[in-house]
């Protein structure tokens, strides 16, 4: 589940190469094979689909701390906003699904804060 959060943060949750990187390489005359940026396969177990869908529904609700010229540090999701988002989307997670949701959040925060 941590890898799902990391992939969300990188923008490659679907495992496809980032077209932007291929476009940049072409712009500089670098010929990259299509599979040069492919990510290793990522499989999501059916039991983890609901926590991931829940995360995607509220993935814009991050709490951040300013770090001056260094930008921001992602602290975690704002659970007050997450609760309202869940209510509006009709999402109710079991305690086990909530734990998986938190694991996805941890992976995303780790990747977002990578230097």
The tens digit of pLDDT for each residue in 81-108 reads 999 999 999 999 999 999 999 999 999 9
pLDDT in tens, 20-45: 777 788 888 888 776 766 666 677 88
pLDDT reported for residue 15: 60
The reported pTM is 0.73
pLDDT in tens, 56-66: 999 999 999 99
Average pLDDT of the chain is: 87
The pLDDT of 8-27, averaged and rounded, is: 73
Contact assessment for residue 54 and residue 101, using Cβ atoms and an 8 Å cutoff: yes
For residue 5, name the pLDDT band (cuts at 50, 70, 90): confident
Q: What is the pLDDT of residue 39?
A: 64
Q: Point out which residues pair with 22 in neighbouring strands.
A: none
Structure confidence at residue 16 as a pLDDT band (50, 70, 90): low
Distance between CA atoms of 36 and 50, rounded to whole angstroms? Answer: 31
Residue 70, classed as helix, strand or coil, is: helix
Whole-number Å distance between alpha carbons of 25 and 34: 11
């Amino acid at each position: 589940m941590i890898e799902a959060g990391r992939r969300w943060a990188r923008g490659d949750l679907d495992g496809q190469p980032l077209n932007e990187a291929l476009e940049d390489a072409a712009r500089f005359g670098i010929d990259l094979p299509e599979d040069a940026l492919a990510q290793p396969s990522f499989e999501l177990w059916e039991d983890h689909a609901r926590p991931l869908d829940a995360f995607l529904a509220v993935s814009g609700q991050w709490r951040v701390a300013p770090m001056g010229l260094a930008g921001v540090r992602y602290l975690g999701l704002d659970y007050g906003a997450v609760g309202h988002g869940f209510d509006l989307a009709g999402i109710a997670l079991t305690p086990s699904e909530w734990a998986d949701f938190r694991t996805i959040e941890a992976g995303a925060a780790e990747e977002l804060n990578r230097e």
